[in-house]
Amino acid sequence: MKIAVVGLGRMGRFYAQTIAALGPTIQLAAVADPDPVARAAVAKELLPGPGVALATGEPGDIFTRGDIDAVIIATPTSTHAELVVAAAQTGKAIFCEKPLALSLEQTHAALAAVERAGVLLQIGFMRRFDPAYQQARALIDAGRIGRPITFKAVGRDPNCPPLEYANPAHSGGLVVDMGIHDFDLARWLMSSEVERVSAEGALCVCDHFASVGDIDNAVINLRFTSGALGNVEVSRNARYGYDVWTEVLGSEGTVVVGRTAGSGGIQVLLPAGDHQSDDTPHFVRRFGTAYRAEIEHFVECVQHQRPPSVGGADALAAFEIALAATRSWQTGQPVTVSEPARV
């Protein structure tokens, strides 16, 4: 099986390394990036000797190759949709980083192209593949904490990103770029859709974001169709480090993932004092297992021609929540997810 990686920034390079290490039946056949230095570095690092069969600045050179079975798209967010459409039109299986697009129109167009072509599409919601989150889902499904009542998620980056990245025209903005992971987790862990959101956002630390109209901190409240409630906090200024944790409060107990900054451990808090913890030692280190697992899942789906467990519908659902939340903080009013988007 021959796989190509489009986009060789931090994530693209990591994915290329992951593909190259999967074994003799999987080949990193091509890479694409407009930066010749990035292309040369990846080709030299991962495939000495004959090297990558194709290292190009044009993704189209990859999509037209009949011998390439699948592509991983890890380019800037604003380019995802057009690349997904192009890959689908040439029959390639697709793994695309989140979010799928920066507008509902683009998202639907990309999904329509995938459906017309009949190709596989997986979205990079890697937290579903993290062992601690998978354990939490299993515990909830088994009824260990009773009926899920509230969902709480915190996602904090340690530094303000470059202005080019923070620009909502490129990344979608704070709520879309960071919050979309938590909106996906909310649907997955609570086994319920989100019907209403209300959000507050502020620019507190990263003052240079004002020139592009973005914020650096936001709090989003959720109401689920099940009647459960949720809250998501996202921040760009956790100076102490990368901090991601999630809590689900149930009618009979609570499960918490990653409460200690930098940790991937899980805690189960029950009335009888039954307490479990599994603490494990920041970015790829924190989610390295999950990133590898999602690529292995992608490869397996391509090989066996079956749909991935997280695909285009999941990208659309999480993005609809993100758009509604963005509109809510902009207007100061609650927004129903099913309302026509104006952002």
Q: What is the pLDDT of residues 264-277, one digit of tens each?
A: 789 999 886 444 55
β-bridge partners, 268: 255, 276
If asked whether residues 161 and 262 sit together in one domain, one would say yes
The number of distinct structural domains making up the chain is 2
In a domain, 301, yes or no: no
List the domain range (segments joined by +) for residue 283. Answer: 128-291+318-336
Residue 77 lies in a domain: yes
pLDDT for the residue numbered 281: 33
Q: What is the pLDDT of residue 262?
A: 54
Residue 95 domain-assigned (yes or no): yes
pLDDT exceeds 70 at position 98: yes
157 and 108 in a single domain? The answer is no
- Domain membership of residue 298 (yes or no) is no
Q: Are residues 146 and 278 in the same domain?
A: yes
Assess if residue 181 is contained within a domain. Answer: yes
pLDDT at residue number 279: 43
C-alpha 127/C-alpha 184 separation (Å) is: 9
Domain boundary residue, one of 126, 153, 181: 126
pLDDT of residue 273: 45
Spatial separation of the C-alpha atoms in residues 333 and 152, rounded to whole Å: 21
Mean pLDDT of the chain: 90
Same domain, 242 and 326: yes
CA angle 261, 266, 270 (to 5 degrees): 125
Higher pLDDT, 276 or 229: 229
Same domain for 89 and 155, yes or no, is: no
Read off the pLDDT of residues 169-223 as tens digits, 9 standing for 90 and up: 999 999 999 999 999 999 999 999 999 999 999 999 999 999 999 999 999 999 9
Angle at the Cα of 312 from the Cα atoms of 311 and 313, rounded to 5 degrees = 95
Calpha distance 286→159 (Å, rounded):
17
- Structural domain ending residue among the three candidates 126, 149, 173: 126
200 and 64 part of one domain: no
CATH number for the domain that contains residue 37: 3.40.50.720
pLDDT value of residue 51:
52
Which pLDDT belongs to residue 245? 95
pLDDT band at 61 (very low <50, low <70, confident <90, very high): very high
pLDDT confidence tier of residue 24, bands split at 50, 70 and 90:
confident
Q: Say if residue 341's pLDDT is above 60.
A: no
Same domain, 70 and 81: yes
| Percent of the chain residues past pLDDT 70, beyond the cut | 92
Q: Helices 179-190 and 312-331: crossing angle, nearest 10°?
A: 120
**Does some domain include residue 341?**
no
Clarify whether residues 195 and 49 are in a common domain.
no
The count of other CB atoms within 10 Å of the CB of residue 164 is 11
pLDDT, residue 325, reads: 87
pLDDT per position as a tens digit, 277-295: 544 334 567 788 898 999 9
Residue 266 falls inside a structural domain: yes
- Is 30 in the same domain as 107? yes
Q: Do 165 and 227 lie in a common domain? A: yes
Between 45 and 2, whose confidence is greater?
A: 2
Together in a domain, 281 and 136: yes
Task: Among 98, 126, 154, identify where a domain stops.
Answer: 126
pLDDT, tens digit (0-9, with 9 covering 90-100), for 132-157: 999 999 999 999 999 999 999 999 99
